[in-house]
Amino acid sequence: MVRARKGEQHAWLAVALSMFAVAWGGNEFTPLLVLYKQHGSFSNLFIDAMLITYAIGVGAGLLAAGPMSDRYGRRALMLPTPLVAVAASTCIAYGEDAATLMAIGRFLSGLAVGMAMTAGGSWLKELSTPRFDPTAKPSSGAKRASMALTAGFGLGAGVAGVLAQWGPIPGQLAYALHILLTIALYPLIIKVPETRQSAHLNIKGSWLNDIAVPTARDRRFLTVAVPLAPWVFGCGFTAYAILPTLMRDSVTYPIAFTALLCVVTLGVGFLIQQPGPTIVGDGGRRGPLLAMTVTIIGMALAALVPLNHSITLTLIACVFLGLSYGLCVFTGLSEVQRIAPPNDLAGLMGLFYCCTYVGMIFPAILTKLDGTFTYPQMLGFGAAVATLILLALIKTAKKQTA
């Protein structure tokens, strides 16, 4: 039995700050897409492929780090994660004109984010229990994890965009700042206690068996958490990858404008998670239905943007897409943490996050189909799909997890 020592009630904050720093580095690339395309060292195809490289890294981190942290402990996987993020930013900063370094950096950046989401998120959840933090509520783990990641994604993109638009050495300065931030916060997690009680026991079976994650077959996970998941980054990347492209010729500072949309979207996503436990409740229909309702509104508003190129409408659309991001990720994590036992927690969390990153392919699909369909048609179709999911959730989300 692990017992809390004096001062450990705040240990969760150290893990949250490390997750925040890793997420900061993971999303710096988004507002710099415009910069790289203007720079001309790489083709547009290569730059867009870096989003896929990042997603592959995230998937590797999610699928490997989750089961490994369930088996070997949270510390063993989370302690090296910020160092992987530092290596990623170093490679990207030096790789502004070097394709190999850029690709390695983007993969490592995704890998670090995946490790932070699973090992870090599980560690944070377990530190957010009365055994370590007497003030913690059942929903505290999900809330703290989702807010740490959201804040990092939002501020990282916002600062990177501002520095790239108006600062010196635009291809390196943002990454240098991230490296300093991560190194400054790293000592805080070194003394955080292990929370995985079975991590030091003689665990039978192979690590490959752990990947199976038995609770992935849970009915509520499949019918509630999984349908919500793609809209997390589906709405996020609609807001700060698709809409800036549609508005590029209508704004004076496209890099800064992209950063602004990132901050608005993820800032709203962060704020809505503050009352998240009250909104979501104890696992009924309210959270899932509200999440999909704002998703429908956000996608419908996004479909109107290419028709009039209004900055005001774009910002309003990002507000609703940000609400969708925040509610979908918080509701999904809450479902996962109610469903999974300790020996499955990180693995199931990894599977949920893998499903969220399916949404990253939305921009690529829309770009590929551009010319066959218009953006209003494609984004309107997204609103229609969200409506169908809402109707399905009315039935599947009715009963609470036993």
> What secondary structure does DSSP assign to 327-343, as a single string?
HHHHHHHHHHHHH--TT
The residues facing 373 across adjacent strands are: 370
Q: What is the 3-state secondary structure (H, E, C) of 347-360?
A: HHHHHHHHHHHHHH
CATH number reported for the structural domain that contains residue 255 in this entry: 1.20.1250.20
Task: Name the phi and psi angles at 370, rounded to 5.
Answer: -60, 130
The encoded tokens of residue 295 equal 């998703």
Rounded to whole angstroms, the Cα distance separating 136 from 145 reads: 13
- Burial, 200: exposed, middle or buried (Cβ in 10 Å; 0-12, 13-18, 19+)? exposed
Q: Smallest Cα–Cα separation from 81: which of 160, 24, 18, 29?
A: 18
Q: What is the pLDDT along the chain (402 residues), one digit of tens a residue?
A: 445 555 567 889 999 999 999 999 999 998 887 788 777 677 777 877 787 889 889 989 988 887 788 778 889 999 999 999 999 999 999 988 888 999 999 999 999 999 998 899 889 988 988 888 888 887 788 788 888 998 999 899 999 999 999 989 988 999 999 999 999 999 999 989 888 765 445 455 555 555 667 788 889 999 999 999 999 989 998 998 889 889 988 899 988 999 999 999 999 998 888 887 777 766 678 889 999 999 999 999 999 999 999 999 999 999 999 999 999 998 998 888 888 887 777 778 888 988 998 887 787 788 778 888 999 999 999 999 999 999 999 988 875 544
Q: Is 242 domain-assigned?
A: yes
Q: Is 369 domain-assigned?
A: yes
Q: Nearest 5°: CA angle at 108, between 127 and 179? A: 75
3-state secondary structure of 370: strand
3-state secondary structure of 373: strand
Overall number of domains in the chain: 1
Identify the pLDDT of residue 181: 96
The answer to whether the beta carbons of residues 182 and 80 sit under 8 Å apart is no
List all residues 6 or more positions away from 397 whose beta carbon is below 8 Å from its beta carbon. Answer: 220, 223, 224, 284, 285, 288, 289
2 phi-psi bin (left φ>0, alpha ψ -120 to 50, beta other): beta
Q: Is 244 domain-assigned?
A: yes
Q: Which residue in the block uniquely carries the two structure tokens 């969708």?
A: 324
> Which amino acid belongs to residue 308?
N
Identify the pLDDT of residue 1: 40
Q: Is 65 domain-assigned?
A: yes
Q: Smallest Cα–Cα separation from 219: which of 397, 90, 78, 81?
A: 397
Q: Smallest Cα–Cα separation from 138: which of 147, 148, 126, 150?
A: 126
How many separate helices (H) and strands (E) can be counted in the chain? 21, 0
Q: Is 106 domain-assigned?
A: yes
Identify the pLDDT of residue 202: 47
The helix (run of H) or strand (run of E) holding residue 114 is helix 99-115
Identify the pLDDT of residue 70: 79
Rounded to whole angstroms, the Cα distance separating 148 from 8 reads: 19
Rounded to whole angstroms, the Cα distance separating 251 from 73 reads: 49
Q: Nearest 5°: CA angle at 379, between 374 and 381? A: 95
Q: Is 198 domain-assigned?
A: no
State which residues form the domain around 318.
8-189+212-396
Q: Is 83 domain-assigned?
A: yes
Rounded to whole angstroms, the Cα distance separating 65 from 401 reads: 26
Task: Name the phi and psi angles at 373, rounded to 5.
Answer: -130, 155
**For the CA atoms of the chain, what is the radius of gyration?**
20
Task: Name the packing angle between helices 375-396 and 286-308 (round to 10°).
Answer: 170
Identify the pLDDT of residue 400: 52
Identify the pLDDT of residue 208: 57
